[in-house]
A and B are shown apart, each in its own frame.
Chain A
């Protein structure tokens, strides 16, 4: 994650910073219950992951972060290692992007989500093996309706 994100955290009204390496994920996996549906699903997803990084900033006003803050991070997500599977820019300035790290078979080597809204910026990076099914169900778990990811790599922009 770019160092500029630390400055954004100082400006933000609220910020979330989750950084978990493989050791911490293993530790968390031991404490995730198999009885609870959400935790059981999380346990399955976490088993293949090497790291989780989430940075989310909520600002009081629009324009408190600029595109350059995100561009520096986006620069790292280049082909052939990464491919952008979804990129949506809306009239109100919202921009949603999903990048997948190419891997063999039905496994994905990692996923990055960039969600840039006028007053909120969120970057999610799940690195490690994650199956397409797990990814599709990820949105359907945790009290959120199921996500159907587009099968083609077509861009919506």
Chain B
């Protein structure tokens, strides 16, 4: 029993940390914090700005303007696609119309120039 006690005491004996250990740990913690802050920079900046009373309105307006701008851009893109589709349909419809008019004209000519039966 005393042998086991001795082994445990030896294993768990207090030992001084290597030199600079605390500084290295603190430096690593700081680095990780800075990285986390960088990834959320924009949202943090916006939140921070929103918390400042003098920037609150400006931040809100900038957010609204950004949302409106995005919506306008999407609407414009949709309208352009719809316009291009309509243009293609007009061209197809007029091509078919022209083709059928030509067919009709050819049929009229065939009858006009057909040899008459005696």
Is chain B found bound to chain A in the same assembly? Answer: yes
Interface readout for A40-80 with B: 1 if CB under 8 Å, 0 if not? 00100110000010101000000000000000000000000
Report if A9 contacts B (CB, 8 A): no
Interface readout for B73-106 with A: 1 if CB under 8 Å, 0 if not? 0000001101110110111111111111111110
A98 touches B87 (CB 8 A): no
- Write out the residue numbers on chain B whose beta carbons fall within 8 Å of the beta carbon of A144: 95, 98-99, 102
- Write out the residue numbers on chain A whose beta carbons fall within 8 Å of the beta carbon of B91: 38-39, 42, 142
Report if A94 contacts B (CB, 8 A): yes
B107 touches A31 (CB 8 A): no
A139 touches B96 (CB 8 A): no
- Write out the residue numbers on chain A whose beta carbons fall within 8 Å of the beta carbon of B89: 18, 20, 24, 28, 52
A52 touches B100 (CB 8 A): no
What is the bound-complex CA distance between A145 and B90, given in angstroms?
19
Report if A14 contacts B (CB, 8 A): no
CB interface residues, A 132-157, toward B, < 8 Å? 135, 138-142, 144-145, 147-150, 156
- Write out the residue numbers on chain B whose beta carbons fall within 8 Å of the beta carbon of A20: 86, 89-90, 93
Shortest Cβ gap from A101 to chain B (Å): 15
Contact partner of B101 (CB less than 8 A), chosen from A30, A46, A138, is A138
B92 touches A16 (CB 8 A): yes
Shortest Cβ gap from B39 to chain A (Å): 43
What is the bound-complex CA distance between A33 and B94, given in angstroms?
15
Report if A108 contacts B (CB, 8 A): no
Shortest Cβ gap from A131 to chain B (Å): 15
What is the bound-complex CA distance between A45 and B90, given in angstroms?
10
Shortest Cβ gap from A79 to chain B (Å): 20
Shortest Cβ gap from B93 to chain A (Å): 5
Report if B108 contacts A (CB, 8 A): yes
- Write out the residue numbers on chain A whose beta carbons fall within 8 Å of the beta carbon of B80: 31
Report if B38 contacts A (CB, 8 A): no
A32 touches B108 (CB 8 A): no
Report if B4 contacts A (CB, 8 A): no
Report if B110 contacts A (CB, 8 A): yes
Show 29 A/B contacts (Cβ-Cβ < 8 Å), sorted by A. Answer: A18-B92, A24-B86, A25-B86, A27-B79, A27-B86, A28-B86, A28-B89, A31-B83, A31-B87, A42-B90, A45-B94, A54-B92, A56-B96, A86-B104, A88-B107, A97-B104, A111-B97, A113-B100, A113-B104, A115-B104, A124-B93, A124-B97, A126-B97, A138-B98, A139-B98, A141-B98, A142-B98, A147-B105, A149-B105
